[in-house]
Structure 1
């Protein structure tokens, strides 16, 4: 009997080993000939050790830029013997993915799976029909006619930010700018998208609990993605990090539910039919398909969580890094201030309005160059559904591709050997005319519907029709750009910034590009 058992066990082990060998051979054959950094590759673990444990983000960024210089279109990184990630870093290849509706990878061990407990299947993570439905229902909330009145909110929140910077800098000491800007952008998204008033900018000397929770959740998500032994929920949620992650997710979910409940009570108690436009949350709560089906309570919370994160964190990162670059380059800062002073002096009210934002051309060039240089969203991933031909190579269907935005934005074959320098003139009209539109994808998150017609529906609200055309534009891109221009113009009109050279500024890759210990600037009143 024991001999039969031993024989059965041996047979089982041999079968498992045979299956693994077959899988290994298939994977290796599928990626035969793909360029890969061999000098940094472990014979079993592949490139995983580079990303595991307590990593230095600056080192990782330097590695990606080194690999991009060597392999300027495509290369493969191995996260163990069976898990290749195809890294794309050139617009010619990236556009082939971003023009599709390919989903985000959410399978076991894949990048977006471990963000689901936080964001659920909101627009950031959802794919397929669910993504298309949500996108179709939510796009009217970001129409230009709805965005125009938001400039007053941007300005009022930016004025509070300016006051906080002035108070923080009264002792002639440098100001940690990231925490203040983050509170401002949180204030803006809560007011604009959810009609929700808070005192989130009035917590002097501390980081708002919501912002702190989001930062810690994003950091743990990043840690889990590069730590294979934390992939199983059974293990992860028994660790200190897992328990903290769950507690922080419960907290941000509660904040989202409070926002939703308050707006629901308002909708029940007030007649909003006189409103010309509905805000983002109103549309979430009232939107219905052709068959009259609305969004579930869970779907609504997922979208609120997604937009509370995406609507404040990426923008805060962008504004903070742009201010840092302008502080490093006083000549560009002065040109922005001259333009801002001129535009504001020519307004009747002495205040920026929607129609004035388009006149801030040089500031816009600096904003785009700052987002290129610092890449607020370092990268995104897709699971391609059909093979993609790249010269004499073919990326197989179901492959996980990493669109390395930071590599794209620092690709010397696209941006030149001076890609690491802050040069706003890269985005002047004459320099952008011939450049591939996919060379610059600061907030890229995949395919987007193209709006072709806008008209009021029977209640007077905005109703939009769409074609099936795809583009790389983010749903909130216009919101973010108008917000960044308004906030930066407000600050640069009031202050001149310079870098605190005693404080080391170091990039930290998370869900967005952060500064490990913040960014400290001196702010001098003009």
Structure 2
């Protein structure tokens, strides 16, 4: 009872000082943010209604606005290419991740690439970059094929049982996690159900904690049922990664570094090739400043990335299910590429020969970006168009979703139109109008990995199945990534060899 009384008092106190605090904030920031309209707001909804509110906000203000998130946080929201460009391009030495949105993930992800700053971030980025070299990524394409084959076998069994409508998020998330664990750990996800469950639970708990301000204090959160679930799930994830890392490190010390070959035959087990974890372990051995705890933090970050790929795949399936002409055009392009081969395996070289399929993926990423916002603060004043200066330390919320739905840049932004990404139609468009993987020095290091997997999975899926709309229209829900409130039901029809 005492704990909940304390939480209640914190809640009452925070709202009682709201007007006074807001009055002061308005007078402090108004002179320097005169070009940015000011809004007074409590935390908005992450459901469908909340996404529609963002659409209205972008239509009304077009480039930016100042947003007061409760009594404690003053945020500048930006959703125009010209305004987000200088923020994305800012040097990593003056760019920092804020604690409001990212700090609550620290017990889970540690001081990895997502949450670190300054020299620590630069060192980790340098150590991670070789793991995403094209020579390494080529080896992963075979694994992408394997993982999607497993998912398709499961789909065929379910269809044979009369279950023709499936939740895409459920199936695709398991597939992308299986793929990531194989690419990084060389580990079979069939053995890690507890780890998978914990990853899903952590994503939900972080969002719930972000929305309830009293839970931002660790002292309070650790004493709640939700906090206990969160830290229990963290321990499961950390113990799992630590055990695998230690095992692979022992193998490396015993057997020496593997050979770096890019031939597909090596990825099939004939010869051990360098993979993600090998690159990091070799970097650990070469850098005496890098501790094993830093390695764990880097690795914990990387294993979270499967969620964004799963979101992207699920939404491109949905968008093509609701636009059958585009789906058929993709299928024709894929069949022209793969017909006549002894196997259906998509190769690295095939990825550049799927132009329309890639355009559909990009349009889906525009319409439903997996990560809708990134937040930053800067150690110096930042200038944006209109003679406006954002004071140092002010939280900047760069709205990827808002930029992708800005009618000044994208006519009829709610319409799915892959031809927006035809090279002729993209010539005059700012490169910062489409930023699903962020941009600048702190862009997503795994974007080439993700795009390769998206094309492999989509190509094989459309070759083997026709995707149709499900029994209900999905309602968007943002939980660290763009998801839906009650799954994403889609229907499947298996295709014969002649289509």
With structure 2 as the length reference, what TM-score do the two structures score? 0.87
Separation in 2 of the partners of 1:289 and 1:196? Answer: 22
* 1:409 matches 2:432: no
**Which residue in 2 is equivalent to 1:190?**
181
**Which stretches in structure 2 are left out of the alignment for 5+ residues?**
1-18, 262-272
Q: Distance in 1 between matches of 2:320 and 2:185?
A: 32
1:14-64 deviations in Å (ceiling 9; x for gaps): xxx999986764244444452134xxx3xxxxx11x43xxx4511111111
* Shift, 1:298, TM fit: 1.5
Structure showing greater Rg: 1
Q: Who is 1:181 aligned against?
A: 172
Q: For the residues of structure 1 that align with 2:138 and 2:430, how far apart are their CA atoms? A: 29
Tell me by how many angstroms 1:151 deviates: 1.1
Indicate the residue corresponding to 2:312 in structure 1: 318
Q: Quote the Cα distance in structure 1 between the aligned partners of 2:370 and 2:313.
A: 9
Of 233, 236, 255, 1:270 maps to: 255
Measured at CA, do residues 193 and 19 of structure 1 come closer, stay the same or move farther in structure 2, by a change above 3 Å?
closer
Equivalent residue, structure 2, for 1:427: 421
2:208 paired residue number? 223
- For 2:413 and 2:397, locate their aligned partners in 1 and report how far apart those are by CA, in whole Å: 21
After the TM superposition, which residues 348-427 of structure 1 pair with which residues of structure 2 at under 5 Å, given as runs? Answer: 349-389=343-383, 390-416=385-411, 418-427=412-421
* 2:435 alignment partner, SS class: coil
Query: In 1, are the aligned partners of 2:89 and 2:439 still within 8 Å (CA)?
Result: no
What is residue 475 of structure 2 aligned with on the other side? 506
C-alpha RMSD of matched pairs (Å): 2.3
Shift of 1:70: 0.7
- 2:405, 2:413 within 8 Å by CA — same for their partners in 1? yes
TM-score (norm 1): 0.83
Alpha-carbon offset, residue 321 of structure 1? 0.7
- Residues matched between the structures, number: 462
Q: Is the 8 A contact 1:104 1:382 kept in 2?
A: yes
Change (3 A) 1:104 1:240: farther
Partner of 1:163: 153
Q: Is the 8 A contact 1:24 1:81 kept in 2?
A: no
CA shift, 1:289, in A, is: 9.1
- Give the number of the structure with larger relative contact order, counting CA–CA contacts within 8 Å between residues 6 or more apart: 2
Identify the match of residue 290 of structure 2 among 289, 295, 303.
295
Rounded to whole Å, the distance in 1 between the matches of 2:34 and 2:232 is 44
Q: Residue 199 of structure 1: SS of its match in structure 2?
A: helix
Which stretch of the first structure deviates more once superposed, 189-198 or 139-148?
A: 189-198
SS at match of 2:38: coil
Deviations 1:329-368 (A, max 9, x none): 1111111110110011265654321111110111100111
The aligned counterpart of 2:12 is none
Distance 1:484 1:228, change over 3 A: same
Q: Distance in 1 between matches of 2:96 and 2:204?
A: 19
Q: SS of 2:303's equivalent?
A: helix
The range that moved more, 80-89 or 63-72, is 80-89
Q: 2 CA distance for matches of 1:112 and 1:366?
A: 31
**Structure 1's 428 and 481: CA in aligned 2 closer, same or farther, altered over 3 A?**
same
Q: Is the 8 Å Cα contact of residues 24 and 82 (structure 1) preserved in structure 2?
A: no
Q: Could you say which residue in structure 2 is the equivalent of 1:461? A: none
Hey, what does 1:26 align to over in structure 2?
28
Alignment-derived partner of residue 246 in structure 1: 231
| 1:166/1:523 contact within 8 Å kept | no
Give 1:149 shift.
1.9
Task: Give CA-to-partner distance per residue, 1:51-104, whole Å, 9 cap, x none.
Answer: 3xxx45111111111011111111111023452110010111111011122434
Matched, 1:97 2:87: yes
Deviation, structure 1 residue 477: 0.9
Asked if 1 retains the 8 angstrom alpha-carbon contact of 2:131 and 2:280, the reply is no
Contact 1:23 1:82 in 2 (8 A): no
User: Structure 1 339/243 Cα, relative in aligned 2: closer, same or farther at 3 Å?
Assistant: same
Output the CA distance in 2 between the equivalents of 1:376 and 1:20. 32
Q: What residue in structure 2 maps to residue 491 of structure 1?
A: 461
Q: 1:155–1:19: structure 2 CA closer, same or farther, 3 Å change rule?
A: closer
Q: Pairwise mapping of residues 97-136 of structure 1 onto structure 2 (< 5 A)?
A: 97-100=87-90, 101=92, 102-107=94-99, 110-136=100-126
Distance between the aligned counterparts of 2:214 and 2:294, measured in 1? 30
In structure 1, list runs of 5 or more residues that go unmatched.
Answer: 1-16, 42-46, 449-471
Instruction: Give, in angstroms, the shift of residue 322 of structure 1.
Output: 0.5
Which of residues 273, 276, 281 is equivalent to 1:280? 276
